[in-house]
């Protein structure tokens, strides 16, 4: 019995190591997207698992968009905006924070791990930080494995 458990665990690890997650990153135009651009022009490497969706402000990302993404193929979702106090629409990122709290509750309802969603602040000057956040998120989702909604 114990041997079967160990074998199953090893198989799961092997599967997760081969697993390449799909991650969506909603990036605000003014800071996060510019940070991604800087990472690119600076040739900073980060995993190719991330698909960037540019939005005008992180406060525009409705929680339903995040849930829809996670239930229709994405393994993880990032919402990235300007640092607090730097939002070009004054309070958009504060709204994003409130929405992130709502998203965390919704993830519970959908029996999804809270780590599949992450809210981050990245400025236009933080290309290395953008790449670091992407790398961390991909590693985190690889450990979790595919979204349970993928198979369904």
- Summarize as ranges the residues that interact with ligand FES (CB under 6 A): 28, 30-31, 57-59, 81-82, 87-89, 92-93
Name the residue with the smallest CB distance to ligand FES: 81
Task: Measure CA 41 to chain center.
Answer: 22
Write phi, then psi, for 145 (nearest 5 degrees). Answer: 90, 180
Nearer to ligand FES, 107 or 119 (CB): 119
Distances (CA, A) of 98 to 26, 124, 135: 16, 23, 25
Query: Could you tell me the smallest distance in angstroms from the CB atom of residue 33 to ligand FES?
Result: 9
Query: Could you tell me the smallest distance in angstroms from the CB atom of residue 20 to ligand FES?
Result: 29
Among 100, 95, 134, which residue's Cα sits nearest to residue 117?
Answer: 100
Query: Could you tell me the smallest distance in angstroms from the CB atom of residue 32 to ligand FES?
Result: 7
Nearer to ligand FES, 76 or 92 (CB): 92
| 46-52-54-60 Cα dihedral, nearest 10 degrees | -110
Query: Could you tell me the smallest distance in angstroms from the CB atom of residue 13 to ligand FES?
Result: 38
């Amino acid at each position: 019995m114990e041997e079967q458990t160990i074998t199953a665990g090893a198989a799961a690890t092997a599967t997760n190591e081969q697993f390449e997650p799909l991650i969506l990153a909603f990036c605000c135009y003014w800071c996060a997207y510019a940070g991604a651009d800087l990472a690119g022009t600076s040739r900073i490497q980060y995993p190719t698992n991330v698909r960037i969706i540019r939005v005008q402000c992180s406060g525009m990302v409705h929680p339903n968009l995040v849930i829809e993404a996670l239930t229709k193929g994405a393994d993880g979702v990032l919402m990235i905006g300007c640092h607090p106090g730097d939002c070009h629409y004054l309070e958009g990122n504060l709204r994003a924070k409130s929405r992130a709290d709502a998203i965390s509750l919704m993830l519970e309802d959908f029996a999804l791990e809270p780590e599949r969603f992450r809210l981050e602040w990245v400025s236009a000057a933080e290309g290395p930080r953008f790449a670091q956040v992407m790398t961390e998120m991909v590693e985190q989702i690889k450990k979790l494995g595919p979204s349970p909604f993928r198979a369904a």
